[in-house]
Structure 1
Amino acid sequence: MTSSEIRENFLAFFKGKDHTIVPSAPMVIKDDPTLMFTNAGMNQFKEYFLGNSKSKYPRIADTQKCLRVSGKHNDLEEVGKDTYHHTMFEMLGNWSFGDYFKKEAISWAWELLTEVYKLDKDSLYVSVFEGSEDDELELDKEAYDLWKAIVPEDRIILGSKKDNFWEMGDQGPCGPCSEIHVDLRSAKEKSKIPGASLVNQDHPEVVEIWNLVFIQYNRKADGSLESLPEKHVDTGMGFERLCMALQGVKSNYDTDVFRPILKEVETITGETYGSDPKKDIAMRVVADHIRAVAFSIADGQLPSNGGAGYVIRRILRRAVRYGFTFLGLHEPFLYKLVKVLVTQMGSAFPELKKQTALIENVVREEEHSFLKTLEQGLILLDEVIAQTKDKEVDGQKAFELYDTFGFPIDLTSLILSEKGYTLDEAGFEKAMQEQKSRSRSASEVAKDDWQVVHPNGEQEFLGYDQLKAEVRLLKYRKISTKKEGTQFQLVFDKTPFYPEGGGQVGDKGYLEVPNGDVVYILDTKKENNEIVHYAKNLPKHLNDPLTAVVDAESRARTARNHSATHLLHQALREILGSHVEQKGSAVHAGHLRFDFSHFAKLTNEELKRVEDFVNERIHEHLPLQENRKVSMQEAMNEGAIALFGEKYGDQVRTIRFGDSIELCGGTHVQNTAEIWHFKIVSEGAIAAGVRRIEAITSDATREYFREKEEQLDEIKAHLKSSGDPVKAIESLMEDNAQLKKELEALQKDKAKGLKSEIKKELEQINGYKFLSRKVDIDAGAMKDLSFELGQEEENLFLLLGAEKDGKALLSCYISKDLAASKGWNAGQIVRELGKYIQGGGGGQPFFATAGGKNPDGLKEALDKVRTLIS
């Protein structure tokens, strides 16, 4: 059975059990501040488990793309080393929201595995929660009895809280679970050791394939449990492991999920998978990681230096360094695997097909950049080794290479061992843990339980029509972070406050309290389908009626900028082509940012055309045409633009201004005339094939033009000219260029004379020529002079110092043969001497420069060099 057939049979089976089949949610999460990535199939249904909203369908089944590389579920460092952990994986799941429970979940799981997939019943084991004294919970007897009617009791294993009790987090819905494990060993191996003893023991051929979670409790902040009013079923079956079991192989990587990618890696490297354990690990890392990276980019998350983007960059770089270190791949190669992945999975996940070119370009550029980093890191590591007096490299210095320059520690260890050095691993680990502690401390959030003031009902958003409303507090809780201190999260029965989403910032404002107090709303976010308001304090009387008031001016500016992004998107597609797609946006009150796919820098002419296009739409006074409830299919038929990586329901909201129509939940102007004027302030690349425009509108443009006018007046005043300032500046530039030429000629003449002087002053010391002196030339002339002398004089050591514009300069030249024979390094020498001029520098072993802010230290630096090299 192929992997495609396995996936299709799962969905067909549960469709036959009256489940609604829903598409996978994006792997990158945008509306849950507690998670960066979907790390389990249940993530997109959290709002139902929490009771924040009701599911339209009581029974659901899907295949969910997941990523586990950070936080509690972090499998990254295991990936490749074994054959069953992955970063990106598929989770096949069936769900019941207050509908069926343990009986149906257990019987259907057994039916699917043994009757549809025809797994050998004698190879299957099940585990049941044994109870926990901590929580005063007993054996899950209901599940035990249900399994006992299906399988022999010697195949039922009692599992601990660690293995058989599922929790969403430190707080929230939870419950016992029942796992199904498969023993894939040969009959001979099974006869030696019973499979029951290998369950949950990390045996590569006795693995868990399905987890049936029975959500029946809520974990409170104090650790206690309370029963939920409705019970739910949440199941997850590892698709890759299931394929391994059904295709009769011993490893996930031997299934048709991974073999096509591994075959391509074999073609690229000339290596054969299975011939060398170290190379096998590297090939598994590459095959796994390209999936995680490609799916993340398809969902709209580009590699970057922070947040979710940093995680994706880290995965990509791990694949590159394994290819670099163990497979000899010193040129970009990962991007070549994208087409194989698309061919294999594009039918099930069409976003891969539509984003192929973007994925390839981003991956190739990231590879190229990191390979450069590796080259630079090798030079820096050589310098660290040269500074090491004994044979153990300081762990702190190795950590600096890792943390500051991104040089992988495993590569550092490998190179050190090849050169006969060791690494102070304890020092490295200490530095790493200190950094993690700082990071963890900065991001830790302490949350109390929700305190219910009024019974929770469906929350109503009024913000499209009202900026002020009478509201009632439903619940609140206290949260604390190191950065923000203590705050309160407030949930109202209705609210005019727009929550952060779709690139638009959340509203700010205040609450009017009957006694005259004011509670300021600092931010508004959406969490698990609830609009949550952040405040520094609570109303004194929680049951009082409250008036929620949005900051009207800030909202109006934000709405203008949001509407302008729609017009900008239309302009870019009209002027650059239909390949342009939005890749991200940030809409604030003061400015807007728009990221889009395009493979070349926009010319000045193109930027002007884009600005003109948007301003023409503004001046046409186009009215807003809003449809708040239209079917997704109807919206698509009208030509509405949907964004990859966004989660849309069956009913969507469309925003139209003239020919611009998009799916959007944000706030907008009633007429484009309100935007007043649109001005691009910057355009540039943020990744391969992705560019960013930053722009302003309305009163921000008025201020922009006012500042420009003031700057122009200032320029005219400096030029002392009432005429054309451009012509006056051109004339100044011509004069400056002529003076520069004359100055360069003078410097060259001075250097020629200086060269003759220096030759006469060279001192013979132990077979080499030495000179350390101050000169009156600039840095460029110092370098030219040093290299000219180096060509004319053998075994030369030359240190020059100069003072220019109140700053000190040093340059050190050492003939290459002399540097090698003496073990001297010009970069290290100038770094040491830089202390005397209160500066620093670096360079190559034979030539390096330093700069500093203390010219008075030049004499001491020039004198000290003798002591340093001796």
Structure 2
Amino acid sequence: MKSQDIRKAYLNFFESKGHLIVPSAPIVLKDDPTLMFNNSGMAQFKEYFLGNGTPKSPRIADTQKCLRVSGKHNDLEDVGFDTYHHTMFEMLGNWSFGDYFKKDALAWAWEFLTEVLKLDKDRLYVSVFEGNPAENVPFDQDAFDIWKQYVSEDRIILGNKKDNFWEMGDQGPCGPCSEIHIDIRSDEERAITSGRDLVNADHPQVVEIWNNVFMEFNRKADGSLEKLPAQHVDTGMGFERLCMAMQNVTSNYDTDVFTPLIEKVEQITGLKYTSNEVKNVSEEQNKTNIAIRVIVDHVRAVAFAIADGQLPSNTGAGYVIRRILRRAIRYGFTFLNTKEPFINKLVEVLANQMGEFFPEIKSQQQLVTNVIREEEASFLRTLDQGLQLLDKVVAETSVNEVSGAKVFELYDTFGFPKDLTALILKEKGYSYNEEEFESELQKQKARSRAASEVSTEDWSVLIPGNVETFVGYDQTENEVKITRIRKVDSKKDGILYQIVLDNTPFYPEGGGQVGDKGTLVSANETIDIIDTKKENNLILHFAKQLPENIEAGFVAKVNTDLRTSTSKNHSATHLMHLALRNILGTHVEQKGSLVNPNYLRFDFSHFSKVSDEELRQVEASVNAQIEAQLQLVEHRNIPIKEALDKGAMALFGEKYGDSVRMIEFGESKELCGGIHVKNTAEIWHFKIISEGAVAAGIRRIEAITGDAVKDFYKNQESTLAEIKETLKNPQDILKSVASLQDDNAKLKKQIEQLLKEKIDGLKNTLVSDFQEINGINFLAKQVDLSMSTTKDLAQAIGTSKPNSFVFLASVEDNTPNIHCYISKELVAEKSLNAGNIIRELGKYIDGNGGGQPFFASGKGKNVNGVKEALEKSVDFVK
């Protein structure tokens, strides 16, 4: 069966068992602060397991895009070296929320594998949880008894907590699980060693394909377990591994999930990939195979993340995506000899292959291609810089072992991978101190852990079963009761309290809009709410202290000044989005936004810089909509199909329910859950502050509204008044500034001419000071010139005589600088190197530098060392 047929068969089977089929959630999570990425099929359903929401059906099935590259679930370093770990993978899942349990889940799993897919029963093994008396969790007798109806007892394996007890995290829903493993080895191998002995032993052909998790318990902060009020089923089957079993191959990479991508890499590089069936490949071929596996795996992860709205960057989830892509680029650079961007060419293959089931990769194909191409070009430049820096490190090393701290600096500061460093050093006859590198790495990890360390207590529930309601669209002040609280202690923020209310006017951070701030006021005290966020369908109000009487009644009051400013910026964002699409074209799509009280930031897809004229048109369009006094038209809980039929824009990478909120201002129609003005006239005025590039094909505009615009124009007026005063209050300021510019240009020309004459004069004077030492024309002098002029003089003097060695120094703004010119014939014949000489003599001025073998420059801090540097320069020619 082809992979697409396998996926369809799975979904059709569970649809026949009464499951609602839902689309994959975005791979990038935007409303769960505990996770960067969807790392399992159940992540989008966490709120249902926690009892904070009601699913649209008690039975659901899907295939979920997952990414495991950070935190507890991290498979990154295994990818490429084995044949069954991936960064991005698909998880086929079926879910029961308080409906069916172990009997049906296991029966249907067996039916699908053996009757629908017709996998060989003799190749299947199952496992059940053996129990853990220390945690008061018994052996899973129910699962064991159910499996005995389908397999002999010798095919049922008892698993420990590591393999057969699944937990969402340190706290939260958890329970025993029952895995299904398949043995795809040859009959000859199976005759020698039983597959039973290889289950969970990391054998590449005896692998887990399906995990049935039975959510029975809740893990509390102290580690203890309590029974959940309802029992759930959470299953996950590795799609790529299932394809391997169904297509009669022994590697995920030999399935049609990956072979089209591999063939494209072969076509681009001219190198061949050998399948897992080919044994005893050479070491060189094995390196090629690993590199190709890394690239075809990583391009999937990066492409889908970008399509879902996560651009590569230097922080957070964006940094993880950049790191994955750079790992792929580096493997191509090192082992496939690819020195030009090429990974972006795989996106078209991926879009054609998976676009039918995941339409986002097709619709965002051009953007994904552009972003990856630019990231490739940027990192290839970094690799070139790294090679130069490595040459410098080697030149400064007197022994054959380079400092591990230096290698770590290359890795940490410049992104230069340690194994590439090791490879290049080996070619030069060097190694590096691995213990020192590892020590620096552990220090950094310890700093990172300390900065992000968080301790979270269990919820204290005051009002059980309450379903919190948001009333903030209509009210900014409301009577409330506290329903639950918990304490969170982090290195970053210190001790904070998360408070949940029975109803709240506070808007939680989401859709680019920051969370509300305000107060909780009782008869006796006032508690400041410093932020509001949403987690697993709960609205969390953050405070630095708890009320003395948490059971009292409170009035929740939103800071209306901040909210009003934020709402102006949010509504202006919608108006600007429409203006950009009208002026630049309908290819413009939102790719990120930030809306706070001070300004708005909007990232959007566009292929070139937005011209000044286009920005003026956008500003004019938005301000025209403000002046038109457009009334807000709000549709709450409208069916998503109806909203889209009305022309509402949906954003890629956002997860929408069956019912949505639609916001209209005239022609502007968007799905949005944020806070808006009632009439565009409230915005007062819109002003763009900046426009620039974020990534390939992504531009960013920052703008202000309302009072911020008033302050902006006041500052402009003040600056203009200062300029007028400085220019002695001319009648025509522009004419006065133009005159100054003309005068400045004339003076610059005069200075350049004078400097040229000065250099010519000094050159003629200094040429007579050359000394001949060992057949070398040597000159070392300090001159009273700027750094750039001294550099020009050194080159002019050096080219005036053959076999010349010129070393000049000068001091500019109390900063010493040095320059060395060596005739090219001396570089070749005498092995003199200006770069090495500058680095050596730079020590006397507490500085450094570098350049080419025939010319180099440097600067330092110690003016008093100039004389000694000049004196020591002669040692290189004696």
The TM-score, its normalising length taken from structure 2, stands at 0.97
Show CA shifts across 1:822-843 (max 9, x none): 6554445445555555554433
**What's 2:315 paired with?**
306
Cα distance, 1:853 vs. partner? 5.4
Cα distance, 1:583 vs. partner? 0.4
**What's 1:332 paired with?**
341
Paired residue secondary structure (2:768): helix
Distance 2:825 2:381 in 1: 27
Contact 2:773–2:877 (CA under 8 A) maintained in structure 1: no
Cα distance, 1:629 vs. partner? 1.1
Contact 1:595–1:692 (CA under 8 A) maintained in structure 2: yes
Show CA shifts across 1:758-784 (max 9, x none): 222122333333322211233332222
Cα distance, 1:441 vs. partner? 1.0
Paired residue secondary structure (1:305): coil
Moved more, 238-247 or 419-428: 419-428
**What's 1:101 paired with?**
101
**What's 2:202 paired with?**
202
Contact 1:571–1:614 (CA under 8 A) maintained in structure 2: yes
**What's 2:136 paired with?**
136
Distance 1:309 1:532 in 2: 25
**What's 2:722 paired with?**
714
Contact 2:774–2:877 (CA under 8 A) maintained in structure 1: no
Q: Structure 1 637/866 Cα, relative in aligned 2: closer, same or farther at 3 Å?
A: same
Q: Structure 1 774/311 Cα, relative in aligned 2: closer, same or farther at 3 Å?
A: same
Cα distance, 1:419 vs. partner? 1.2
**What's 1:760 paired with?**
768
Distance 1:183 1:84 in 2: 14
Show CA shifts across 1:781-823 (max 9, x none): 2222222333333343322222334443322223345346665
**What's 1:687 paired with?**
695
Residue of 545, 564, 567 corresponding to 2:572: 564
Q: Structure 1 820/472 Cα, relative in aligned 2: closer, same or farther at 3 Å?
A: farther
Cα distance, 1:614 vs. partner? 0.5
**What's 1:5 paired with?**
5
Q: Is residue 426 of structure 1 aligned with residue 448 of structure 2? A: no
**What's 2:495 paired with?**
486
Distance 1:477 1:158 in 2: 37
Residue of 668, 673, 677 corresponding to 1:660: 668
Contact 1:183–1:206 (CA under 8 A) maintained in structure 2: yes
Residue of 539, 548, 565 corresponding to 1:540: 548
Q: Structure 1 824/678 Cα, relative in aligned 2: closer, same or farther at 3 Å?
A: farther
Distance 2:773 2:427 in 1: 36
Q: Structure 1 34/391 Cα, relative in aligned 2: closer, same or farther at 3 Å?
A: same
- In the TM superposition, 1:70-109 aligns within 5 A as 70-109=70-109
Q: Is residue 622 of structure 1 aligned with residue 630 of structure 2? A: yes
Q: Structure 1 512/816 Cα, relative in aligned 2: closer, same or farther at 3 Å?
A: farther
Contact 1:489–1:533 (CA under 8 A) maintained in structure 2: yes
Residue of 420, 444, 455 corresponding to 1:435: 444
Residue of 435, 449, 463 corresponding to 1:454: 463
Show CA shifts across 1:621-646 (max 9, x none): 10100111111111111111111000
- In the TM superposition, 1:57-68 aligns within 5 A as 57-68=57-68
Distance 2:394 2:874 in 1: 23
**What's 1:596 paired with?**
604
**What's 1:728 paired with?**
736
Paired residue secondary structure (1:25): coil
Identity %: 62
Q: Structure 1 471/824 Cα, relative in aligned 2: closer, same or farther at 3 Å?
A: farther
Letter of the aligned partner of 1:6 in structure 2? I
Q: Which runs of 5+ in 2 are unaligned?
A: 275-280
Cα distance, 1:393 vs. partner? 0.9
Paired residue secondary structure (2:708): helix
Cα distance, 1:864 vs. partner? 4.4
Q: Structure 1 231/798 Cα, relative in aligned 2: closer, same or farther at 3 Å?
A: same
Distance 1:126 1:767 in 2: 84
Contact 2:96–2:234 (CA under 8 A) maintained in structure 1: yes
Residue of 527, 530, 554 corresponding to 1:519: 527
**What's 2:678 paired with?**
670
Paired residue secondary structure (1:449): coil
Q: Structure 1 339/178 Cα, relative in aligned 2: closer, same or farther at 3 Å?
A: same
Contact 1:721–1:728 (CA under 8 A) maintained in structure 2: no
**What's 2:426 paired with?**
417
Distance 2:822 2:190 in 1: 70
Cα distance, 1:591 vs. partner? 0.6
Contact 2:776–2:877 (CA under 8 A) maintained in structure 1: no
Q: Which runs of 5+ in 1 are unaligned?
A: none
Distance 1:136 1:218 in 2: 13
**What's 1:509 paired with?**
518
Moved more, 721-730 or 182-191: 721-730
**What's 1:698 paired with?**
706
Contact 2:599–2:702 (CA under 8 A) maintained in structure 1: yes
Paired residue secondary structure (1:134): helix
Letter of the aligned partner of 2:527 in structure 1? V
Paired residue secondary structure (1:41): coil
Q: Structure 1 829/185 Cα, relative in aligned 2: closer, same or farther at 3 Å?
A: same
**What's 1:181 paired with?**
181
Paired residue secondary structure (2:261): helix
Distance 1:60 1:474 in 2: 30
Paired residue secondary structure (1:499): coil
**What's 1:475 paired with?**
484
Distance 2:831 2:145 in 1: 77
**What's 1:253 paired with?**
253
Cα distance, 1:422 vs. partner? 1.1
Cα distance, 1:711 vs. partner? 0.4
Distance 2:48 2:818 in 1: 67
Distance 1:744 1:695 in 2: 42
**What's 1:782 paired with?**
790
Q: Is residue 402 of structure 1 aligned with residue 411 of structure 2? A: yes
Contact 1:751–1:777 (CA under 8 A) maintained in structure 2: no
Residue of 745, 750, 759 corresponding to 2:758: 750
Contact 1:456–1:474 (CA under 8 A) maintained in structure 2: no
**What's 1:21 paired with?**
21
Distance 1:45 1:69 in 2: 21
**What's 2:618 paired with?**
610
**What's 1:190 paired with?**
190
Distance 1:206 1:326 in 2: 29
Q: Is residue 573 of structure 1 aligned with residue 581 of structure 2? A: yes
Q: Is residue 648 of structure 1 aligned with residue 662 of structure 2? A: no
Distance 2:257 2:374 in 1: 26
**What's 1:242 paired with?**
242
Distance 2:846 2:477 in 1: 59
Moved more, 248-257 or 855-864: 855-864
Distance 1:833 1:509 in 2: 62
Q: Structure 1 154/604 Cα, relative in aligned 2: closer, same or farther at 3 Å?
A: same
Show CA shifts across 1:129-153 (max 9, x none): 0011331222100100100111000
**What's 2:157 paired with?**
157
Contact 2:46–2:536 (CA under 8 A) maintained in structure 1: yes
Paired residue secondary structure (1:761): coil
Q: Structure 1 862/548 Cα, relative in aligned 2: closer, same or farther at 3 Å?
A: farther
Letter of the aligned partner of 1:784 in structure 2? D
Distance 2:830 2:682 in 1: 73
Contact 1:747–1:777 (CA under 8 A) maintained in structure 2: no
Paired residue secondary structure (1:662): strand
Q: Structure 1 25/763 Cα, relative in aligned 2: closer, same or farther at 3 Å?
A: same
Contact 1:101–1:231 (CA under 8 A) maintained in structure 2: yes
Q: Is residue 799 of structure 1 aligned with residue 810 of structure 2? A: no
Residue of 381, 393, 410 corresponding to 2:402: 393
Paired residue secondary structure (2:539): strand
Contact 1:519–1:537 (CA under 8 A) maintained in structure 2: yes
